[in-house]
Amino acid sequence: MPASLRELRQRRQSVAATKKITRAMELIAASRIIKAQQAASAALPFTRELNRAVSALATHAEVDHPLITDAENPKRAALVMLTSDRGLAGAYSSNVIKMAQRVTERLHEDGLEVVRFPIGRKGISWLSFRGLPIEQSWEGFSDKPSYAHAHEIADRLIEGFLRPDDEGGYSAIYVVYTRMESMLSQVPRVRRILPLEVVEGVAPPSEDEILPIYEFEPDVETVLDDLLPLYIRNRVWFYLLQASASQLASQQKAMKSATDNAEQLIQELTREANQARQAEITQEISEIVGGAGALAESSESE
């Protein structure tokens, strides 16, 4: 007999318990995606207005700002990678890590040293397991980031960017995050946040549109000084929101397939258990029949 009836039933029960857990996690992830998506869309007006202001400044001023200018002789580059704090989200974190590895290789080919800023426990443990140096890390909010987190991260990144490369700074900042294309597809992406490419998103004015001539208060430089850090924080905020929504979507997908697998397993185990039960009954009957036959024979021979 392959497995006893009791063993099979036990296994089925444990799979059923697992299924309940994965099902619950699937539902939790599903409800939180909605919240994450709402947060992402609520942040849109700020991004839109900020982009408009930056474009206005870029078209008006002869922009020459440390956050925009490319370094002449870059030696180091920062790499921020947005992973999750917990597993059970399918290939979400490993996709980001793979992408980050490719970026690292490319930066090394360009002769740049890479300064690593992992966000999320998975990325941190991946780096520390391989003994790779971590400049600074953040964790604990991968599925529910707040603007204060974006504020803190962006300020730390800018501070390092403004320091010369020889004194522990870096000349470029790349971010690897996962973009939420839809519920079904989340794609890891690389973006350079600094130095800024101001031309991005500035559409040439159409013929009938007159560009407003802005007054600046107090002056262009000061406004730009105040605006750019805000812009960077907003970029980081955008990436955090995208990453959290993607993470929840991957988690939901992973948990859904775990639930489906559990269901299939339960079905198979139930069938096997039924077969085992039937076999036991058949054996018992044949034992009784055999025993009765033996008894009848022995009494006849007497």
- Smallest distance from other proteins to CB 62, Å: 16
Instruction: Please pick, from the candidates 223, 228, 245, 258, the single residue that binds other proteins as defined by CB under 8 A.
Output: 223
Q: Where are the beta strands (DSSP E) in 120-206?
A: 173-180, 186-194
Q: Which is nearer to other proteins, 151 or 189 (CB)?
A: 151
DSSP string across 2-41: -S-HHHHHHHHHHHHHHHHHHHHHHHHHHHHHHHHHHHHH
Cα 250 from Cα 256, distance rounded (Å): 10
Q: Which is nearer to other proteins, 215 or 302 (CB)?
A: 215
The number of beta carbons lying within 10 Å of the beta carbon of residue 59 is: 15
Q: Point out which span in 25-33, 82-90, 92-100, 231-239 binds other proteins (CB under 8 A).
A: 231-239
Q: Examine residue 302 and tell whether it contacts other proteins (CB under 8 A).
A: no
Residue type, 105: E
Instruction: Please pick, from the candidates 151, 156, 179, 191, the single residue that binds other proteins as defined by CB under 8 A.
Output: 151
Q: Examine residue 52 and tell whether it contacts other proteins (CB under 8 A).
A: yes
Q: Examine residue 68 and tell whether it contacts other proteins (CB under 8 A).
A: no
The number of beta carbons lying within 10 Å of the beta carbon of residue 162 is: 11
Cα 247 from Cα 48, distance rounded (Å): 25
Q: Examine residue 222 and tell whether it contacts other proteins (CB under 8 A).
A: yes
Q: Examine residue 233 and tell whether it contacts other proteins (CB under 8 A).
A: yes
- DSSP 8-state secondary structure symbol assigned to residue 204: P
Contacts of 60 (CB under 8 A, 6+ apart): 213, 214, 216, 220
- Smallest distance from other proteins to CB 185, Å: 26
Q: Examine residue 49 and tell whether it contacts other proteins (CB under 8 A).
A: yes
Cα 168 from Cα 136, distance rounded (Å): 12
Q: Which is nearer to other proteins, 199 or 213 (CB)?
A: 213
- Smallest distance from other proteins to CB 126, Å: 30
* Helix or strand holding residue 77 (H, E): strand 76-82
Give the count of alpha carbons within 13 A of 95, CB side only.
Answer: 18
Instruction: Please pick, from the candidates 9, 46, 169, 270, the single residue that binds other proteins as defined by CB under 8 A.
Output: 46
Instruction: Please pick, from the candidates 184, 199, 203, 213, the single residue that binds other proteins as defined by CB under 8 A.
Output: 213
Q: Which is nearer to other proteins, 112 or 154 (CB)?
A: 154
Q: Examine residue 67 and tell whether it contacts other proteins (CB under 8 A).
A: no
Q: Point out which span in 23-31, 43-51, 68-76, 101-109 binds other proteins (CB under 8 A).
A: 43-51
CA distances (Å), origin 65, targets 48, 60, 246, 301: 22, 14, 34, 114
Contacts with other proteins by CB under 8 A lie at 39, 42-43, 45-46, 49-50, 52-53, 56-57, 147, 150-151, 212-218, 222-223, 226-227, 230, 233-234, 237
